[in-house]
């Protein structure tokens, strides 16, 4: 390793290169993660005695490249309707909730009938349904730990009523915040299970597993609507939230194509930005 590579000057050059044309995504080896990997390597060199200090820790004069911001592109109304039509009837309300209320996927799956106030024309977004790494479901606050109230339009209210008449809500009791068994009285209070009459349920009357739903319902609906190509695509990651009103978008996951490129897989929230 040359002497120049041991000073902040080299680090600045490295950062400048990473901020070049190839650093449009901030992912892989062309963005902040690359700098983290470089720092790890140099830290090992310090521990082995090959370097006096890690130049990547010169944060005062050198800053990591920032990923380029991309403005979300809204779906056209026909696309939203096509995706909705591609879902099973019991799941179509998910698109309506995303488009009409801007709910994220977990928020839609955790929405209770008691959260919908038809008289006041408002929906209380109080929780989301999540699954931990061991496949255990639980309820918790929406993203950012913030609840909110969203106006309920007459048209959406009618669709929700029609949905509940055809597919009645089902009571679901799950731990709050953390599915791990409590070990203290404080944890017992914090994780005390709550019961919610879920608006969205499976045909077996169960809560929805987002992974299964994405794979068996959401992604096929996107393919049917022409949002995804059916040939040569294999999902690599899929999670998240993509269902928002016609002015918002369902953020998505990524999939890899036969050509090796990675393309976003829209989630429920993106439709709301259409």
Q: pTM for the full model?
A: 0.65
Per-residue pLDDT tens over the stretch 38-92 = 778 888 788 888 888 887 776 655 566 676 677 666 678 899 999 999 999 999 9
Q: What is the pLDDT of residues 183-194, one digit of tens each?
A: 999 999 999 999
Distance in Å from the first CA to the final CA of the chain: 51
Strand partners, 265: 253
Cβ atoms of 11 and 55 within 8 Å: the answer is yes
Tokens in use for 131? 């699954």
Interval 166-183: pLDDT, tens: 999 999 999 999 999 999
Give which of 127, 94, 93 is closest to 110, Cα–Cα: 127
Question: Tokens standing for 96?
Answer: 């309506």
User: Both tokens of residue 219?
Assistant: 């992604």
CA–CA gap between residue 191 and residue 181 (Å, rounded): 8
Q: Angle 248-254-255 (CA atoms, 0-180°, nearest 5)?
A: 135
Count of residues in the chain:
274
Count of C-beta atoms within a 10 Å radius of residue 224: 15
Mean per-residue pLDDT of the chain: 77
Residues 108 and 98 sit within 8 Å (Cβ to Cβ): yes
Say if residues 254 and 262 touch (Cβ distance below 8 Å).
Answer: yes
Region of 205 on the Ramachandran plot (φ > 0 left; ψ -120 to 50 alpha; else beta)? left
């Amino acid at each position: 390793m040359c002497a120049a590579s041991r000073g902040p000057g080299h680090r600045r050059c490295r950062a400048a290169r990473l901020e070049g044309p190839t650093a449009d995504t901030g992912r892989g080896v062309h963005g902040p993660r690359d700098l983290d990997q470089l720092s790890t390597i140099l830290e090992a060199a310090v521990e082995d005695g090959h370097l006096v200090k890690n130049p990547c820790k010169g944060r005062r004069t050198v800053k990591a490249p920032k990923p380029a911001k991309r403005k979300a592109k809204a779906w056209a109304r026909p696309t939203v309707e096509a995706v909705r039509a591609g879902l099973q009837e019991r799941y179509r309300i998910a698109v309506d909730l995303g488009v009409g209320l801007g709910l994220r996927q977990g928020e839609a799956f955790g929405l209770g009938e008691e959260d919908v106030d038809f008289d006041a024309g408002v929906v209380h977004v109080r929780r989301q349904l999540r699954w931990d790494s061991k496949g255990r479901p639980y309820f918790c606050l929406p993203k950012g730990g913030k609840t909110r109230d969203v106006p309920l339009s007459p048209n959406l209210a009618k669709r929700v009523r029609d949905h509940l008449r055809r597919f009645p809500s089902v009571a679901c009791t799950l731990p709050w915040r953390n599915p791990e068994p409590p070990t203290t009285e404080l944890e017992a209070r914090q994780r005390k299970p709550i019961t919610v009459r879920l608006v969205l349920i499976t045909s077996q009357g169960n809560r929805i597993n987002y992974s299964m739903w994405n794979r068996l319902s959401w992604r096929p609906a996107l393919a049917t609507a022409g949002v995804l190509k059916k040939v040569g695509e294999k999902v690599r990651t899929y999670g998240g939230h993509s269902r928002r009103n016609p002015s918002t978008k369902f953020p998505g996951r990524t999939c890899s194509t036969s050509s090796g490129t990675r393309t976003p897989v829209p989630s429920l929230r993106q439709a709301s930005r259409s």
